[in-house]
């Protein structure tokens, strides 16, 4: 499909696509596809006020009824899966199945959130006082600002929005300035769900378009109690302290530097498949992309040889073409950063396989993924480079491998390939991986929505998506009810008057 057909299938009119000065280009061929209107900094106060007004109504709607809106969103997403997936391909450069997979992830989190809307449970706690009952109640918190990155242009919003909405919180979304079209298309889908729902308050789900300055208005406002920010650690270092300064709550989902340990007992056929998918999928532009391979010295040569061979046969090119496995980098700047890091790695003693610019579609930025054999974990290896570079390190015993795995500033995702139970359990134990995600015989990327997603250290500490991540979108209230005719004080304190 050409770009204009994809845009038309998502319901864009020519007027919308030429309404302003935010230039949107496709990484596939660098073509300009739209000039969109941006939200002015002066408009942000009204957006936030509308969200607060919506909150006052939405918090009173019973949670299962709020879940009905998310159920309808899931239905509308199912109906729009193909065109929205194709737009993700157009705007973020993902291959077709990854574009569709991103929309599937949105559908999955909607299903999860619908069930959750009847399960926002609090505890009942034993009271130390006779005739008393203690419990916890979870209440809606207020508007949730969602700032998202280019590489998951729509799924990240849905992880936040589906939960926030059932938890009783309105949502204001500031997508990446590189991917506003997928956000606008998602809002059209959301609008269809809102229309069918009928009586949702105005301003319940809003979209603001623009760069960091638009996000900053959300970050600065005490009327936006929750800021969920996904992007680089550089961004989180700015956003986190600003939200903390006003005692807001931040959910930070920042950079990763994810590793796989490959032990001598590993099933190498499986490991090779997992490595290739997680290192080169999305052209190495996932927060969970595999960036470091920590291989036992006894199998390093064999494994690297297999990987170099597998890499040589990977189809690189137009992500719209069936069979392509590696699409473009987001822009030429990403390629320049990749190349600069490969130069640095060489200077630190690395041996580079691949990493060259290749012909893809004219106007796009296409590279061969790189494998870099390193003499040790240098400064370059310890940085996240958002491109398909896989650094290979070797180890001799598991403690050393775990120490290498943990000795980076980031703490998102990690994994071990081993058939040895002791090694697997040690990796998952308190002395094992220090990441938010730790897998056995599965690569670090492609998480399911049922688990809590996020990471430690410079990854920011936030958790989104499944498990009890919903608690991040609500305020906890502890209630003590006295149904006796006495007024005993806690801890046996006497205060007779």
Q: Which residues bind ligand NAD (CB under 6 A)?
A: 147-152, 174, 176-177, 211-212, 215-216, 219, 230-232, 235, 238-239, 253-256, 287, 384, 386, 412, 459
Residue with tokens 């058939």: 419
Annotated active-site residue in 253, 384, 458, 464: 253
Nearer to ligand NAD, 67 or 466 (CB): 466
Q: CB of 422: closest distance to ligand NAD in angstroms?
A: 30
Nearer to ligand NAD, 408 or 412 (CB): 412
Nearer to ligand NAD, 287 or 398 (CB): 287
Looking at the DSSP bridge assignments, the partners of residue 260 are 293, 415
Q: CB of 176: closest distance to ligand NAD in angstroms?
A: 4
In angstroms, rounded to a whole number, what is the distance separating the alpha carbons of residues 239 and 220?
A: 9
Active-site annotation holds for 253 = yes
Nearer to ligand NAD, 168 or 460 (CB): 460
Q: CB of 454: closest distance to ligand NAD in angstroms?
A: 6
Nearer to ligand NAD, 189 or 254 (CB): 254
Residue with tokens 């077709």: 96
Looking at the DSSP bridge assignments, the partners of residue 24 are 34
Nearer to ligand NAD, 170 or 255 (CB): 255
Q: CB of 297: closest distance to ligand NAD in angstroms?
A: 30
Contact 249, 167 (CB under 8 A): no
| Two tokens, residue 25 | 């280009």
Q: CB of 426: closest distance to ligand NAD in angstroms?
A: 26
| Two tokens, residue 51 | 């969200």
Q: CB of 173: closest distance to ligand NAD in angstroms?
A: 10
Nearer to ligand NAD, 54 or 235 (CB): 235
In angstroms, rounded to a whole number, what is the distance separating the alpha carbons of residues 283 and 364?
A: 13
Q: CB of 351: closest distance to ligand NAD in angstroms?
A: 26
Nearer to ligand NAD, 230 or 433 (CB): 230
Nearer to ligand NAD, 185 or 194 (CB): 185
Q: CB of 249: closest distance to ligand NAD in angstroms?
A: 16
User: According to the 3-state scheme, what is the secondary structure of the chain?
Assistant: CCHHHHHHHCCCCHHHHCCCCEEEECCCCCCEEEEECCCCHHHHHHHHHHHHHHHHHHCCCCHHHHHHHHHHHHHHHHHCHHHHHHHHHHHHCCCHHHHHHHHHHHHHHHHHHHHHCCCCCCCEECCCCCCEEEEEEEEECCCEEEECCCCCCCHHHHHHHHHHHHHCCCEEEECCCCCHHHHHHHHHHHHHHHHHHCCCCCCCEEECCCCHHHHHHHHHCCCCCEEEEECCHHHHHHHHHHHHHCCCEEEEECCCCEEEEECCCCCHHHHHHHHHHHHHHHHHCCCCCEEEEEEECCCHHHHHHHHHHHHHCCCECCCCCCCCCECCECCHHHHHHHHHHHHHHHHCCCEEEECCEECCCCCCEEECCEEEECCCCCCCCCCCCCCCEEEEEEECCHHHHHHHHHCCCEECEEEEECCCHHHHHHHHCCCCCCCCEEEECCCCCCCCCCCEECCEECCCCCCEECCCHHHHHEEEEEEEEECCCCCCCHHHCCCCC
Question: Which residues does the annotation mark as catalytic?
Answer: 253
């Amino acid at each position: 499909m050409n770009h204009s057909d994809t845009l038309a299938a998502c319901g864009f009119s020519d007027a919308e696509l030429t309404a302003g000065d935010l230039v949107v280009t496709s990484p596939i061929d660098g073509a300009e596809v739209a000039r969109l209107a941006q939200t002015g900094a002066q408009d942000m106060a009204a957006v936030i006020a509308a969200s607060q007004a919506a909150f006052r109504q939405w918090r009173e709607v019973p949670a299962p009824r709020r879940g009905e809106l998310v159920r309808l969103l899931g239905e509308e997403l199912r109906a729009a899966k193909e065109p929205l997936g194709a737009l993700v391909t157009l705007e973020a450069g993902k291959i077709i199945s990854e574009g569709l997979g991103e929309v599937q992830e949105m559908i999955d989190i909607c299903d999860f959130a619908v069930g959750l809307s009847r399960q926002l449970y609090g505890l009942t706690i034993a009271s130390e006082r006779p005739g008393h009952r203690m419990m916890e109640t979870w209440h809606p918190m207020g508007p949730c600002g969602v700032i998202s990155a280019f590489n998951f242009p729509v799924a990240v919003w849905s992880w936040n929005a589906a939960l926030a909405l059932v938890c009783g919180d309105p949502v204001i979304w500031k997508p990446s300035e590189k991917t506003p079209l997928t956000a606008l298309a998602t809002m059209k889908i959301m609008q269809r769900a809102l229309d069918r729902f009928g009586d949702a308050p105005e301003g319940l789900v809003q979209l603001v378009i623009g760069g960091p300055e638009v996000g900053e208005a959300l970050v600065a406002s005490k009327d936006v109690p929750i800021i969920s920010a996904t992007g680089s650690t550089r961004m989180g270092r700015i956003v986190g302290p600003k939200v903390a300064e006003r005692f807001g709550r931040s959910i930070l989902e920042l950079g990763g530097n994810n590793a796989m340990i490959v032990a001598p007992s590993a099933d190498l056929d499986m490991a090779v498949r997992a490595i290739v998918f997680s290192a080169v999928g999305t052209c190495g532009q996932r927060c969970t992309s595999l960036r470091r391979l920590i291989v036992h010295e006894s199998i390093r040569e064999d494994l690297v040889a297999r990987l170099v061979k597998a890499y040589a046969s990977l189809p690189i090119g137009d992500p719209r073409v069936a069979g392509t496995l590696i699409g473009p980098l987001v822009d030429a700047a990403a390629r320049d950063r990749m190349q600069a890091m490969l130069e640095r790695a060489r200077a630190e003693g690395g041996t580079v396989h691949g990493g060259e610019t290749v012909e893809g579609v004219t106007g796009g930025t296409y590279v061969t993924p790189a494998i870099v054999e390193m003499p040790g974990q240098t400064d370059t290896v310890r940085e996240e480079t958002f491109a398909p570079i896989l650094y290979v390190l070797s180890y001799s015993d598991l403690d050393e491998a775990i120490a290498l795995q943990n000795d980076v500033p980031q703490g998102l995702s990690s994994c071990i390939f081993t058939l040895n139970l002791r090694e697997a359990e040690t990796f998952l134990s308190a002395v094992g991986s220090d990441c938010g995600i730790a897998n056995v015989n599965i690569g670090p990327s492609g998480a399911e929505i049922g688990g809590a997603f996020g990471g430690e250290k410079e990854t920011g500490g936030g958790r989104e998506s499944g498990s009890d991540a919903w608690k991040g979108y609500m305020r906890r209230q502890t209630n003590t009810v006295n149904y006796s005719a006495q007024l005993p004080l806690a801890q046996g304190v006497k205060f007779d008057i």
